[in-house]
Amino acid sequence: MMMRIEPLKTSARTEKLDMRVTVEAKRRLVAAAAAEQRSVSEFVLSSALDRANEALADRKRFGLDEAGWSAFQAALNGPARDLPRVTRLLHEPSIFEDETAH
């Protein structure tokens, strides 16, 4: 479930964000804002904040039930798994490397 955080209507907007867009991009933003019966500024701000929340979601927090948390801690505290394919990948020359240089 994605959490949607709306800009607070009661907060004073003291910061300004300017950007240049193409004619087509502006046309599309105006049309989308009109479809949602919002101003372009409201539409762009809300859309940008939604996308920012998506981009930051896994970097901020995640939720687990008690069983999930126990499993997570066990995985962190347990021994490292042997991953032969990853080991091989890290030890083989890259296709971008000159094999004669090794």
Per-residue pLDDT tens for 69-85?
999 999 999 998 899 99
What is the rounded CA–CA span in Å between residue 14 and residue 31? 27
Look at residue 95 and tell me if it is in a domain: no
Domain count of the fold of the chain: 1
* Full residue range of the structural domain in which residue 27 is found: 19-61
pLDDT band for 1, please (50, 70, 90 cuts): very low
- Whether 74 is in a domain gets the answer no
Question: Dihedral angle at the C-alpha atoms of 10, 16, 21, 23, nearest 10 degrees?
Answer: 60
pLDDT at 9 over 80: no
Q: Is residue 89 part of a domain?
A: no
* Site of tokens 């039930």: 65
- Asked if residue 101 is part of any domain, the answer here is no
Q: What pTM was estimated for this model as a whole?
A: 0.50
Amino acid at 48: A
**56 in a structural domain:** yes
Look at residues 33, 41, 35 and name the one whose alpha carbon lies nearest to residue 15. 41
Residue 94 falls within a domain, yes or no? no
Q: Let me know if residue 4 belongs to a domain.
A: no
